[in-house]
Each structure stands twice: as C-alpha cells, then as structure tokens.
Amino acid sequence: MKFQKKTFILTGLAAALVLSATVIFFFKGSGISPEKMLNITSDRADLEVKNALYRELGHDGSKWEIRAEKASYRKTKNLAFFDKLEVKLFLSSGKSVVMTGDTGQMNTATKDMQINGRVGITSSSGERFKTDYLHYSYADKRLHTEATVLMETPRMQIRGVGMSFSLKNRDLVLLSKVQARIK
C-alpha cells in the first residue's frame, strides 16, 4: 500500500511539473506575456457601452442628450456610433425636438449627426415627422434629408421629398413632390 501511495504522489507531482513546464514554454516561446494574453481589445471600437447616455450643454444655452441601447466610439476617426437611439435637443428658446432612429453616427469634433432607419422627429409644438434618414448640422442647427418625409400636425398631413428644417428660426422647407391634406 505504501508503495502504491508513493507512486501515485510521484506521478501527480511529475504531471504537475510537466504541465507547468508546458505553460511556461508556451508563454516564453510565443513571446506573449500572460498580461498581454488577458488584454482583449476590439478592432472595431476604442470604447463600447450598453445603455449609453450622453449629455452636453452648448455655448448658446442649448442642451442635448443622446440615449442609446448601445454606443461605440472610434477615437482615431472622431466618430461615435449608436444603436436604437433617442436624441433630445433643448433649444435656448425653450423649444425641444426629439429624434429617434435605429442607428446613428456622430462626429465628435463637429457634433454633426446622421440618424438612419425609421427616423422619427417630434417637436414640442406637436409636429411629428417620419423619414428614412436624417442629417443634423450642429453649427447651423439644421435638420435635413433628401428622403421622403411625412409631417403630421393635429390639423394637417404633408408629404414631400427632401426637407430642410432650421431649429434656429423654425423655417421648414419641403423640397419637391409636396402633397398636403388639411383636416
């Protein structure tokens, strides 16, 4: 019995020694330290966040916030990407605009945005817009698209192709194929 017990212990120690030598050889032979093996980074983004919230206060007193189910950031390109986003713009005039969409992209240097997929826009005055994609120019405070736009108010429904909407002076221009229905 003593001989079998010693053999078992010696076999276990030999196996542990061989396993340790194999692990050390693997790390030394590959040139990768264990610390580097555990450092996992994404090639697609510098930062990825779920349930993201971004807020900013502008110089002119405007405020905006972006909520998204998922956000990722590429520092080298100054781009932030959003999935299932909601953008709230609070203008210095006290008015607000809420934009929603499936995906979005923001240039973090210029603050310009593009929202894609089932885009909805709701103003605090009650106007509602629907389109396929939308561009937002931060410097001009202007929303624009070349896609079909449906605008609804309590009193009318207007459809057109292409839109430019100034948030500064509340000018709305539908560019072509405009049809209106007044209730």
Higher-scoring residue by pLDDT: 33, 162: 162
More confident residue, 94 or 7: 94
Q: For the chain, first and last CA: distance in Å?
A: 99
Work out the mean pLDDT of the chain and round it to a whole number.
80
Residue 89 confidence (pLDDT): 86
Q: What tokens appear for 2 in the block?
A: 């003593």
Q: What pTM does this model have?
A: 0.70
Neighbour count for residue 167 (Cβ, 10 Å) = 20
What does each C-alpha distance from 55 to 1, 21, 67, 90, 134 come to in angstroms? 73, 53, 9, 11, 20
Q: How confident is the model at residue 41 (pLDDT cuts 50, 70, 90)?
A: very low
* pLDDT tens-place string over residues 136-149: 998 888 999 999 99
Assigned CATH class of 47-182: mainly beta
Mean pLDDT along residues 147-170:
92
What whole-number distance in Å separates Cα of residue 171 and Cα of residue 177? Answer: 18
Task: Collect all residues with Cβ–Cβ distance below 8 Å to 106 and sequence separation of at least 6.
Answer: 66, 79, 80, 82, 112, 113
